[in-house]
Amino acid sequence: MEPEDARISVLDRGFLYGDSIYEVARVYNGVPFALEAHLERFYASGERIGFALPWSRNELRNVIKETLEAAAATDAYLRVIATRGCGPLDLAPQAAIDPQLIVMALAPTVPSKETYERGRSAWTVSVRRNLKRAIDPQAKTGNYMNNVLAVADARRHGADEAIMLDVEGRVAEGSSANVWALIDGVWVTPPLEVGILGGITRHTLLSICGTAKVAAEERMIWPEDLAAASEVCICSSMREIVPIVLLNGKPIGTGNVGRNVARLHELYRAEVSAQTKSW
């Protein structure tokens, strides 16, 4: 059905409390990139919030395929949401009685060619990333207030993207992307322990770099390391690899998109095209 015809109860816990989990994958050539990794993380997110999904992996795969076919989606934004559903008004998850599954295939909004060529600006926001012991950032839940406030802060400062720190002041991630910095010729990304989402794009890049012999590793990054990096980028499923050329109003490196980030993006695109030839 068309998105505007889809209905969900106002008593749904996803709507009331953000008591839901979700995944976003980018569809290329009718095929979702890294679907199995996304499904794996979907179940893992459920486990992290004590929500045992009642659907099998095969059922999920089939309903995704059916939706993409019905939408005749070639390049698309695929969003899969599971909410704990409705029940008596009660915070206790035990009150939830009818989990809902929603699959959306929408026209993708992706960065323009110009964005990749020119890069974007970022701001280190004052909103800190959720504590792991509050809402674990590794669970991809529908509760995005932390990230919404981060983007709002970045935009108030006239920047495109937010860079979030953890409570200790270490670089965590973007509002909906992971962060990389080229430091002394090595691509560095913060480890999961800092309290970030284990991004599929981040994971793909670590693996591609391993194969292509591009130096890359997980290591703590402090704000001053980020500011002094020769290149910086953020990565996510829909946006792939976006160069950051201006941080807190100051240029990163030369202030232009560097050749290393361009190379990283090329490697990523080659991997995507190799993996999305067919289901």
- Provide the binding-site residues for ligand PDD, judged by CB under 6 A: 24, 147, 173, 176-178, 197, 199-202, 236-238
Minimum CB separation from ligand PDD for residue 24, in Å? 4
Do residues 189 and 202 lie in contact, with contact meaning Cβ atoms separated by under 8 Å? yes
Minimum CB separation from ligand PDD for residue 101, in Å? 18
Minimum CB separation from ligand PDD for residue 176, in Å? 4
What gap in Å lies between CA 143 and CA 104, rounded to an integer? Answer: 18
Q: Considering the complex, state which of residue 78 and residue 183 has its C-beta at the smaller distance from ligand PDD.
A: 78
Q: Considering the complex, state which of residue 157 and residue 203 has its C-beta at the smaller distance from ligand PDD.
A: 203
Query: What is the DSSP secondary-structure string of 125-152?
Result: -SSPPPPTTTS-TTS-BS--HHHHHHHH
**250 burial level (CB within 10 Å; 0-12, 13-18, 19+):** exposed
The strand ranges marked E within 61-147 are 76-83, 100-106, 120-124
Minimum CB separation from ligand PDD for residue 254, in Å? 27
Q: Considering the complex, state which of residue 237 and residue 260 has its C-beta at the smaller distance from ligand PDD.
A: 237
Q: Considering the complex, state which of residue 86 and residue 265 has its C-beta at the smaller distance from ligand PDD.
A: 265
Q: Considering the complex, state which of residue 45 and residue 176 has its C-beta at the smaller distance from ligand PDD.
A: 176
Which residue(s) pair with 162 in the sheet? 123
Minimum CB separation from ligand PDD for residue 115, in Å? 16
Q: Which two tokens stand for residue 249?
A: 């109003």
Minimum CB separation from ligand PDD for residue 15, in Å? 17
Q: Considering the complex, state which of residue 86 and residue 124 has its C-beta at the smaller distance from ligand PDD.
A: 124
Whole-angstrom CA distances from 130 to 108, 146, 204 are 28, 7, 24
Close Cβ partners of 114 (under 8 Å, ≥ 6 residues apart): none
